[in-house]
Amino acid sequence: MDGVGAHEAIVESPEHERELSELPLDRIEQVLTAYRDRSLALGRDRRTRYVLVFKNHGEWAGATQDHSHAQILATPVIPSVAAEELAGSRRRFEKSGRCVFCEVMERELAEGSRIVSREESFLSFTPYASRFAYETWVLPRRHASSFANASEETLRGLAAILKETLGRIRSALARPDYNFLIHTAPCAEPDLEFYHWHIEIIPKLSRASGFEWGTGAYINPTPPEEAAERLRSLSPAEFRAS
């Protein structure tokens, strides 16, 4: 097919040295609002099937600019990673009648050892069998499949838990490079019972090698329970920049 789509950059702050978690809470909310509004606008193009919001922070994460920014890609196909996740979620729903992400959150809350932070409307945790050391997910506790449909209230809650979670990672790991990705439903299917939008944060503490590329399996030297305990142990004074 022809190369059709869009690629935009969102500059998150006029201050060159400040990372996203170091911005005031209201500014983070403004950034998230820009993510949502541009996702909605790009998704209105009938040729667009999927909109991906992602952030590469630092050279190891693939950033080519030091200034804090995120990127948005609108594509005429559903990327394979998203398609596989959607298919797996659908299979689980057909078997259990429930969203697998809602089930995961229930189990994480009940077990407790992998929780990083819990708020009224959001939960962050290091997922079971994490692919990467200190990999952390952020999910809305109320079922929703499309980030582009997030309300102002939802974005306020997301700003709060994102500031805390990224701040804990920044402090615990001495300002690591990281990738940040918003997984969401396809543009034409914003209301899916079986899928749940979420954010994946992946600190770049090591590089993938031949084993990972050749097998699709990952070597993670840090158990998620240990990572979550380390992130939780920080006091607010240690991770709050502003």
Known catalytic residue at 69 = yes
Please give the Cα distance from 31 to 53 (Å, whole number): 12
Tokens standing for residue 225: 């329970």
Return the SS3 of 70.
strand
Residue with tokens 């998230």: 32
Residue with tokens 């690591």: 176
Q: For the chain, what's the residue count? A: 242
DSSP state of 207: -
Which phi-psi region, left, alpha or beta, contains residue 199 (left: φ > 0; alpha: ψ -120 to 50)?
beta
Give the active site residue among 69, 183, 196, 198.
Answer: 69
Please give the Cα distance from 6 to 9 (Å, whole number): 10
User: DSSP states of 4-34 as a string?
Assistant: --EEEEEE--S-TT--GGGS-HHHHHHHHHH
Residue with tokens 């954010």: 199
User: Are the CB atoms for 68 and 18 separated by under 8 Å?
Assistant: yes
Count of alpha carbons within 13 angstroms of residue 47, beta-carbon side? 10
Q: Which residues contact 122 (CB under 8 A, 6 or more apart)?
A: 138, 139, 140, 141, 157, 158, 160, 161
Q: Which residues are catalytic?
A: 69
